[in-house]
Amino acid sequence: MDTPNVPSTYYTPAPASDLWSCRQPTAVSGRYEGFQGNPGPIGSALDLRLDIDARGNVESPVMNKVSGDFYSTRFVKVAGVNQLVKTYVESWIVDTPFVTFTDTDVHIVGTVRYWKGTHPATTVDIVVSWSHGAVTGAVATFTSGGILGRPYACSYRSEAFRDMNLELDYCTSVDIEPKVPVYNSHAHTNRPADLPNRTITIESSYTDAGIAVTIDPVHTVIDDTAAGFASWNVGELHDAMETSFGKYNSGWPAWNMWGIQAGIFDTAGVGGIMFDAAAGFGGAGRGPDRQGFAVFRNHSWFTNLVSNPVTQDQAWAMRHFLYTWVHEAGHAFNFLHAWDKARPDSLSWMNYDWKYDQRNGTDSFWGNFRFRFDDDELLHMRHGDRASVIMGGDPWASGGHLESPAGAMTVSGPGSDVELTLSAKDHFDYMEPVSIEFRLRNTTDVPVMVDGRLDPRYGNTTVYIQKPNGTVVLHESVVCFYGLPEMVTLAPAPVGDDDGSDRFSQLVQLVYGVEGFAFDAPGQYLVRAVYSTDGIVQASNTLPLRVGFPVTREEDRFAPEFFTREVGLTLAFEGSMSPYLERGLNALTEAAERFGGEPLGVKAATAVAQSVGDDFYRRKDEKMVKHHSADPQRALALTDAGLAGYQQSAGAASNLAYRGLVELRTELHAKSDNSAAAKSEVETLAKDLGTRGANPTVLAQVKELIPSTPAARSRRAAPRKAAKKSSDG
């Protein structure tokens, strides 16, 4: 039958004599399960979600949608014993259901839209009945291609649309109360005037969204007291997830998530991180994805964190503690940040409070935020294609509502006081990791403050790549850092002599993202970025670059070993000694040896040096132990050829890469107690950059790289911060 374009609800009364027996339940919305044609369990099964009336949650709007998942069920004999196997088939949604309530039931009809594949025109007719205030069940009948199917008899299961298990592990150093956030919505005075007074937790936040989260009451404590272990890097977090998240890894995808409360991240400004990396099932590179995240308890946000806040500072800390947990877990449901979905003014867990305030005024986010996901996110979480929602399903950012905006490669953002420019050499060898210079420049006659975190992993820049086949993809980092801005002052645009103080540059590696290798095919690419922060929204130029074809048979044969997830993650993590990524490190080591002196060999050697040149800790018997001791001499030897190549290069295009390598080698020399060698390489760098026309600001910054002590501290002695670099060109 035809259905209206908008959801509609009608009501038909029952005779007065039947009013008691026909007393309607508080809500019929929620999840139903049943089988087709019989009570089961063999045949076709249906997981049905009705979202047509209020379920009683304070901040849980009705979406007026109906959706479901089909499964096939059968018995299989395993070791002589019959076992019931339930296999997922596909998902569907009714966008505009037509709803009619009576005193005895509710009748729902609508047109079915399947998320994938080709299907004949399909409608569904659903009747939910009740008695004495309790739902007695739902019957769903599908008509496909004009053929009426056998009905599904479904029982009511829960007011939640989906269920999820959350395992939380803690490091010894931060295994302290409060272990999970418990926030009173009125504890802080900066809030909506009509916000209900209630207690909000991780579980209640997701209950509002229609997700029943069960936190495992038993948590693993990981001893992180090993001497020298002061901060975490991405590789160690990934390895810890591989090792620790074993309780639910019997099969993927699954509604399971793992979170760890750790001390502090290598980059001290990062308060939370979601890493979209494989774990558990068969080792790295073979799934699943988007199911691990970390919160860093020793971040400055949580300095005033106590179990029962009484001051405004304590309330702020608890509120941010809650926000960080819910935000990072949200990424595992396939949520990008609000601004990456063209919704920078969304009042959602997935926005950043400070980014919202930059656009809408100080304290405006918390003054309007109602502790909920926005409507589009609720639609995805409750009714999206199961494969793009469930942990370990489709890759991060694969949900249909997360597609990049139409024309992202051609439509420029609004003008601003800051210019964003992308630059790189115009040709990259096949398999050579691609790095691009992101440069901000002040175009005004007054100083401008900007957030200098230009790598997409920090959320300030959104990068679009047009592939040689013409498709445009959003390049999303495999890690997502949530942390404090790192402000840089851009001096006014110069009138006379140009000292470079009006600009700021960073070299950003775009080799690997959640969709895989960004530049894995020969041909012409177009790259564009949008910088959005501090009230600035500025699109970059469109940067063309070309990836060459394999020059030799050796390159062509090596490509399958290089284009693996293990290699990609090792590059994205800036090195890792995790056994789960050993295959990637071995391939990069082979590339460094086989293609020494070539760009691929130089960059592969640098990644290996980053791995072997630093300590690496991993969990063993509930304790973090040193798995690998830094080998600075080997790391230096690996990068000798690359240093020589950069020193002999005459072009300015390699200046940032040259400088970055010298910074790495300076740290390695310091670990080897050879400050004289570090000083010599820094002085040579300054001389070379001066000859190539680098501005005075850059040369002054380069001289600061000279170690001030005979043996500079290892990264493990104190968290490092992202280096701030002005333009080298």
Using a 10 angstrom Cβ sphere, with 0-12 exposed, 13-18 middle and 19 or more buried, the burial of residue 62 is: middle
> What is the C-alpha separation between 622 and 230, in angstroms, rounded?
17
> What DSSP assignment string belongs to 243-312?
HH--TTTTSSS-SEEEEEEES-BSBTTEEEEEE----SSSSTTS---S-EEEEETTSGGGTT--SS--SH
Confidence of residue 713 (pLDDT cuts 50, 70, 90): very low
Q: What are the Cα distances from residue 140, in Å, to 1, 106, 268, 303?
A: 15, 12, 53, 53
pLDDT at 485: 87
Side-chain-side CA neighbours of 538 within 13 Å: the count stands at 22
Q: What is the pLDDT of residues 8-38, one digit of tens each?
A: 555 444 444 454 456 677 789 999 999 998 6
720 pLDDT higher than 60:
no
Task: Judge contact between 161 and 49, C-beta under 8 A.
Answer: yes
Q: Please give the residue that has the higher pLDDT: either 311 or 282.
A: 311
Lowest mean pLDDT: which of 10-14, 380-384, 598-602, 608-612?
Answer: 10-14
Provide the phi-psi class of 406: left if phi over 0, else alpha when psi is between -120 and 50, else beta. beta
Q: What is the pLDDT of residues 559-591, one digit of tens each?
A: 999 999 999 999 999 999 999 899 999 999 999
Report strand pairing: 98-102 vs 8-12. parallel
User: What is the amino acid identity at position 404?
Assistant: S
> What is the C-alpha separation between 706 and 712, in angstroms, rounded?
10
Q: Give the mean model confidence (pLDDT) for residues 629-640.
A: 93
CA-based nearest residue to 65, from 2, 18, 6, 135: 6
Q: What is the pLDDT of residues 122-152, one digit of tens each?
A: 999 999 999 888 899 999 999 999 999 999 9
Q: What is the pLDDT of residues 162-185, one digit of tens each?
A: 999 998 999 999 999 999 999 999
Report strand pairing: 162-171 vs 256-262. parallel
Query: What percent of the chain shows pLDDT beyond 90?
Result: 47
Task: Judge contact between 52 and 32, C-beta under 8 A.
Answer: no
Q: Please give the residue that has the higher pLDDT: either 692 or 613.
A: 613
> What is the C-alpha separation between 438 and 506, in angstroms, rounded?
5
Provide the phi-psi class of 581: left if phi over 0, else alpha when psi is between -120 and 50, else beta. alpha
Q: Please give the residue that has the higher pLDDT: either 379 or 471.
A: 379
DSSP H or E stretch at residue 634: helix 632-648
> What is the C-alpha separation between 532 and 538, in angstroms, rounded?
7
Confidence of residue 423 (pLDDT cuts 50, 70, 90): very high
674, two tokens: 């050879």
| Average pLDDT of the chain, as a whole number | 83
288, two tokens: 């699943």
Residues in a beta bridge with 224: none
> What is the C-alpha separation between 542 and 412, in angstroms, rounded?
10
> What DSSP assignment string belongs to 532-549?
EETTEEEE-PPEEEEEPP
Side-chain-side CA neighbours of 636 within 13 Å: the count stands at 16
> What is the C-alpha separation between 610 and 596, in angstroms, rounded?
17
401 pLDDT higher than 50:
no
> What is the C-alpha separation between 647 and 665, in angstroms, rounded?
14
pLDDT at 57: 73
Q: What is the pLDDT of residues 319-351, one digit of tens each?
A: 999 999 999 888 888 887 787 777 889 999 999
Q: Give the mean model confidence (pLDDT) for residues 545-554.
A: 92
pLDDT at 597: 82
Q: What is the pLDDT of residues 197-246, one digit of tens each?
A: 999 999 999 999 999 999 988 888 889 999 889 899 888 887 887 776 65
User: What is the amino acid identity at position 518?
Assistant: A
Helix (H, G, I), strand (E, B) or coil at 678: helix
pLDDT at 484: 85
Q: Please give the residue that has the higher pLDDT: either 107 or 277.
A: 107
User: What is the amino acid identity at position 644?
Assistant: A
Using a 10 angstrom Cβ sphere, with 0-12 exposed, 13-18 middle and 19 or more buried, the burial of residue 561 is: middle
Q: What is the pLDDT of residues 584-593, one digit of tens each?
A: 999 999 999 9
Query: What is the pTM for the complete model shown?
Result: 0.69
Lowest mean pLDDT: which of 101-110, 336-345, 519-528, 673-682?
Answer: 336-345
128, two tokens: 């939910």
pLDDT at 655: 85
Cβ neighbors of 359 (< 8 A, separation 6 or more) are: 344, 345, 535
Cβ neighbors of 293 (< 8 A, separation 6 or more) are: 257, 258, 259, 260, 272, 273, 274, 275, 328, 329, 331, 332
Provide the phi-psi class of 52: left if phi over 0, else alpha when psi is between -120 and 50, else beta. alpha
pLDDT at 73: 80
Q: What is the pLDDT of residues 436-493, one digit of tens each?
A: 999 999 888 888 888 999 998 888 888 889 889 888 788 888 888 888 888 999 998 8
> What is the C-alpha separation between 714 and 630, in angstroms, rounded?
9
Confidence of residue 252 (pLDDT cuts 50, 70, 90): low
pLDDT at 399: 41
Report strand pairing: 256-262 vs 292-296. parallel
Side-chain-side CA neighbours of 625 within 13 Å: the count stands at 7
pLDDT at 714: 45
pLDDT at 290: 61
Residues in a beta bridge with 122: 144
Q: Give the mean model confidence (pLDDT) for residues 83-112.
A: 89
User: What is the amino acid identity at position 604?
Assistant: A
Residues in a beta bridge with 604: none
Lowest mean pLDDT: which of 309-313, 365-369, 540-544?
Answer: 540-544
Q: What is the pLDDT of residues 509-531, one digit of tens each?
A: 999 988 889 999 999 999 988 88
> What is the C-alpha separation between 25 and 287, in angstroms, rounded?
42
Confidence of residue 191 (pLDDT cuts 50, 70, 90): very high
User: What is the amino acid identity at position 309?
Assistant: P
User: What is the amino acid identity at position 445?
Assistant: D
Is the peptide bond prior to 253 cis by the omega test (within 30 degrees of 0)?
Answer: yes
Lowest mean pLDDT: which of 55-64, 505-514, 611-620?
Answer: 55-64
Which residue matches tokens 């072997």? Answer: 612
Report strand pairing: 8-12 vs 147-148. unpaired
> What is the C-alpha separation between 607 and 167, in angstroms, rounded?
32
Confidence of residue 534 (pLDDT cuts 50, 70, 90): low
